[in-house]
A and B are shown apart, each in its own frame.
Chain A
Amino acid sequence: EVQLVESGGGLVQPGGSLRLSCAASGFTFSSYWMSWVRQAPGKGLEWVANIKQDGSEKYYVDSVKGRFTISRDNAKNSLYLQMNSLRAEDTAVYYCARSGYYLTYYYMDVWGKGTTVTVSS
């Protein structure tokens, strides 16, 4: 079964750090771009970051540049998101998602259940 399982969320104070993990199974992890997407309480979906198959390219939404770092370990079939200098507005459910593709068309076809990050004092 193709599956993504996130972990590492929790309550953290403003300015603090947290590292999210996503364990992949059931597919060849190293063959896919991977993304993090978040959803603040009662709000819509926001793409946060993604990473190329070999980790050589990484991209971020402007609001997290310089604070968040995406990485992956293909030997462990795992995706990570290191979050530093956290702000209240980073409070959200964070989803790990696989970027499937057909020709040049990319889409997020496999999602984890999400992990909740709450930034509050």
Chain B
Amino acid sequence: DIQMTQSPSSLSASVGDRVTITCRASQSISSYLNWYQQKPGKAPKLLIYAASSLQSGVPSRFSGSGSGTDFTLTISSLQPEDFATYYCQQSYSTPGFTFGPGTKVDIK
């Protein structure tokens, strides 16, 4: 089974900061990597699919990069509405979609 890890597990940042979250797969998953945002009490929201493709309606300050085993989600200028938990997910070894453990972004 493919295992997903994320770092850091949490971070504190200020509005306007550039934020980078890393996701690592236990084996190569090519570009089969998705990113989700989840706010407390809400369902997850798809941000990025296929490692770097921005989902329709998602602000362009979100971007994704990477391939193989190492991936990055970047928020270029953190906004108040971006404080949330972010999850990566592999879709290489379908049909099981393994999620990473999550990275919580809160206010410094």
Task: Please give the residue numbers on chain A whose beta carbons come within 8 Å of chain B beta carbons, in ascending order.
Answer: 33, 35, 37, 44-47, 50, 57, 59, 61, 95, 100, 102, 105-109, 111-114
Q: A95-B43, A111-B43, A111-B44 given as contacts; is B94 within 8 A of A106 (CB)?
A: yes
- Could you tell me the distance in whole angstroms from the C-beta of B13 to the nearest C-beta in chain A? 20
Q: Cβ of B95 and Cβ of A108 under 8 Å apart?
A: no
Q: List 7 A-B contacts (CB under 8 A).
A: A33-B95, A44-B87, A45-B36, A50-B97, A105-B31, A106-B94, A111-B43
B49, B96, B98: the one within 8 Å of A107 (CB): B49
Residue B46 lies at the interface, judged by CB distance under 8 Å to chain A:
yes
- Cβ distance A76 to chain B, nearest Cβ, rounded Å: 22
Chain B residue numbers with a CB within 8 Å of A113 are 42-43
- A50 and B95 CA atoms in complex are apart in Å by 7
B: contact size bracket: 20 to 34
Which residues from B are CB-within-8-Å of A44?
A: 87, 99-102
CB-defined contacts of B100 to chain A, threshold 8 Å: 44
Residues of chain B with a CB closer than 8 A to A50's CB: 95, 97
Contact A95 B101 (CB under 8 A): no
A95 and B91 alpha carbons, distance in the complex (Å): 18
Task: Give the CA-CA distance A21 to B97 in the complex, in Å.
Answer: 21
